[in-house]
Amino acid sequence: MRIDLHTHSTASDGTDTPAELVRNAAAAGLHVVALTDHDTTRGHAEAIAALPEGLTLVTGAELSCRADGVSMHMLAYLFDPEEPALLAERELVRDDRVPRAKTMIAKLNALGVPVTWEQVTRIAGDGSVGRPHIASALVGLGVVPTVSDAFTEDWLADGGRAWVEKHETDPFEAIRLVKAAGGVCVLAHPAAAKRGRTVPESTITELAAAGLDGLEVDHMEHDPDTRARLRGLAGELGLLVTGSSDYHGSRKTVSLGEYTTDPEVYGEITRRATGAFPVPGAGGA
């Protein structure tokens, strides 16, 4: 059984529509895929409607969090999407992305880059707007050769010349909200160092004590030594270990199913969740 628990669609900063994503997941030989758009569940309905036979969808979201000035991402699975407190927090984070993107555009304009809000919204559509959309606009303008080249100090990296902070949830509060909505929490790419400062092990220990369920260990941005270290830490703290692609369509080089999660771990995630059930594909659309 091949299980990929972290992907993005056009509901945030991926390039596949939710329907394309589930079709591509089935074509890639996956049996289970989680749709985890940044701070939104908006893609779920379309993904469910298009779900091919033989593929199961795990509904989820990747929540933007920050503690002690360090940004981190919390994967939340199988929570009740209607639960009001978590819904309100997702909306707060998502809505703040709009003025924040506009401020980043103003900073780029001040740096002599003629990018406009119209260009960025054309790229983002109705997806949760983020730096990858602005990065795509910069590629279109010939400012940088690839999306990833926009994530440097010169441009959009954390602390970079055109970077602006966004509202991010305290991760302890995120865990509390997700649990109250019946969901399961896995800390995404905890040691992806090229994105900026990463979460200290002491914080991971505290998050585990606060109810964190797992760590995403097998991820393209973790080298083998880092994975070994994180696996050891997960063992010590009694955390589940997951692996996933963090697929973003053509905005990243990774492919669906390039990293996967053990079926036993997947089973445990589904046993712990009470907010929603995995959706088996009927092959309808």
Q: Does 155 bind ligand AMP (CB under 6 A)?
A: no
CA distances (Å), origin 119, targets 99, 106, 109, 114 = 15, 13, 13, 10
What letter does residue 53 receive in the DSSP assignment? T
Angle of CA points 94, 95, 100, to nearest 5°: 95
Residue nearer to ligand AMP on the CB measure, 52 or 117: 117
Give the shortest CB-111-to-Fe ion separation in angstroms: 26
Size of the site for Zn ion (CB under 5 A): 2
The rounded Cα 63 to chain-centroid distance in angstroms is 7
Give the shortest CB-271-to-ligand AMP separation in angstroms: 28
Partner from Zn ion, Fe ion, ligand AMP, none binding residue 103, C-beta < 5-8 Å depending on class: none
**Dihedral, 210, 71, 272, 45 alpha carbons, nearest 10:** 150
Among 17, 18, 37, 151, binds ligand AMP (CB under 6 A): 151
Asked if 186 contacts 5 with a C-beta cutoff of 8 angstroms, the reply is yes
Contact flags string 229-248 toward Fe ion, x per CB under 5 A: -----------------x--
* Residue 181, both tokens: 């909505």
Partner from Zn ion, ligand AMP, Fe ion, none binding residue 131, C-beta < 5-8 Å depending on class: ligand AMP
Residue nearer to ligand AMP on the CB measure, 179 or 252: 252
Among 13, 37, 46, 80, binds ligand AMP (CB under 6 A): 13
DSSP for 178-190, please give it. Answer: HHHTT-EEEE-ST
Partner from ligand AMP, Zn ion, Fe ion, none binding residue 44, C-beta < 5-8 Å depending on class: none
Which amino acid is residue 188, in one-letter code? A
Residue nearer to ligand AMP on the CB measure, 132 or 275: 132
Give the shortest CB-41-to-ligand AMP separation in angstroms: 16
Stretch that binds Zn ion, among 12-20, 160-168, 191-199, 268-276 (CB under 5 A): 12-20
Q: Does 132 bind ligand AMP (CB under 6 A)?
A: yes
Partner from Zn ion, Fe ion, ligand AMP, none binding residue 195, C-beta < 5-8 Å depending on class: ligand AMP
Contacts of 110 (CB under 8 A, 6+ apart): none
Tell me the torsion sign for CA atoms 232, 233, 235, 239: negative
Give the shortest CB-12-to-Fe ion separation in angstroms: 8
Tell me the torsion sign for CA atoms 45, 50, 51, 57: negative
Residue nearer to Fe ion on the CB measure, 16 or 62: 62
Angle in degrees, 0-180, between the axes of helices 84-110 and 171-180, rounded to the nearest 10: 140
Partner from ligand AMP, Fe ion, Zn ion, none binding residue 168, C-beta < 5-8 Å depending on class: none
**Distance from C-alpha of 92 to C-alpha of 68, rounded to nearest angstrom:** 20
Asked if 12 contacts 39 with a C-beta cutoff of 8 angstroms, the reply is yes
Contact flags string 248-267 toward ligand AMP, x per CB under 6 A: x---x---------------
Which amino acid is residue 61, in one-letter code? A
Asked if 13 contacts 132 with a C-beta cutoff of 8 angstroms, the reply is yes
In the window 157-216, what residues touch ligand AMP (CB under 6 A)? 194-195
Among 4, 13, 39, 216, binds Zn ion (CB under 5 A): 13
| Binding residues for Zn ion (CB under 5 A) | 8, 13
